[in-house]
Amino acid sequence: MTTTGGRTLLAVPNVSEGRDRGAIDAIARAFDAGLLDVHTDPDHHRSVFTLAGSPGRLAASVVAGAAEALERIDLNRHDGIHPRVGAVDVAPIVYLTELDRGAACAEALVLGDRLGHELGVPVFLYGALRDGRTRAELRRGGPRRLAERIAGGELRPDFGPARLHPTAGATLVAARPPLVAFNVELEPPATLEDAKRIATRIRESGSEGLPGVRAIGLWLDHEGVAQVSTNVEDHHRAPLAAVVAAIARHAEPRRAELVGLAPSAAFDGFPPELPVVNLRLLENEVAVKKTSAEK
């Protein structure tokens, strides 16, 4: 991993493949040497890749991995429980300091342009790059509904063709600070309906809403348990300990899972008795990659 003036950006492409190990490994190799982490889930049928790179170079790594994903994924045959509209569903560029926000925005726009024009995938911007538009707004109704909205003139891609790719759908691109993808499994006999009810209450718009928290309730067939799956957009306003406490008011947490990497501050005050699967901290992984690159 090379950096420009010591500056590092991250990319976190979410790919709609969580079961075919050969495909996941091939996509990981295509993302190149900046790969920090791969998180795979067969129920979600999704893999989250975390890459580090310098401004001006990171977009190329994402495009290389996306090209491999397009060769291996047909969204028409996808049956995972996680909402999605694309084979490469989202591909945000992440800035670690406010000083790098501008560089991240520029890199995200380059990425969107290249995905659209080189791979023929329509790209929709979200977040600060598109007036605060959310992923949920674009994913609502899935690929079929998104195609209808494009055809009807309600939506127009920011980059690429004005139609979905026949097997890869669309890709959502943003520039943002670190987001924590954090899931909590519920102890039986909690049901899918329990998980959905809890998610409705604790998400930002809910009756017990936590600021900047997105939440959905899911059922994991492989584990035979219900799960509250969250995205925590600001871990300073809603630390993970607060997310666990909010869930625990309604059902007993069985264990937690970190998807990708998280800043260490997100775990301030976290209950030590609750096990966390895939607990890997962002600062540690970036430091290790920088050290290995300097050798």
Catalytic positions, written as ranges: 82
- Helix extents (H) in the chain: 21-30, 58-72, 101-118, 135-139, 142-151, 192-202, 240-248, 282-294
CA separation for the pair 245, 234 (Å, rounded) = 17
The sign of the dihedral angle between the CA atoms of 165, 138, 41, 234 is positive
**Region of residue 19 (left: phi > 0; alpha: psi -120 to 50; beta: else):** alpha
Is 280:36 a contact under the CB 8 Å cutoff?
Answer: no
CA separation for the pair 58, 66 (Å, rounded) = 13
CA separation for the pair 59, 54 (Å, rounded) = 9
Is 246:202 a contact under the CB 8 Å cutoff?
Answer: yes
Considering just the CA atoms, what is the radius of gyration of the chain in Å? 18
Tokens for 217, please give them. Answer: 């309730």
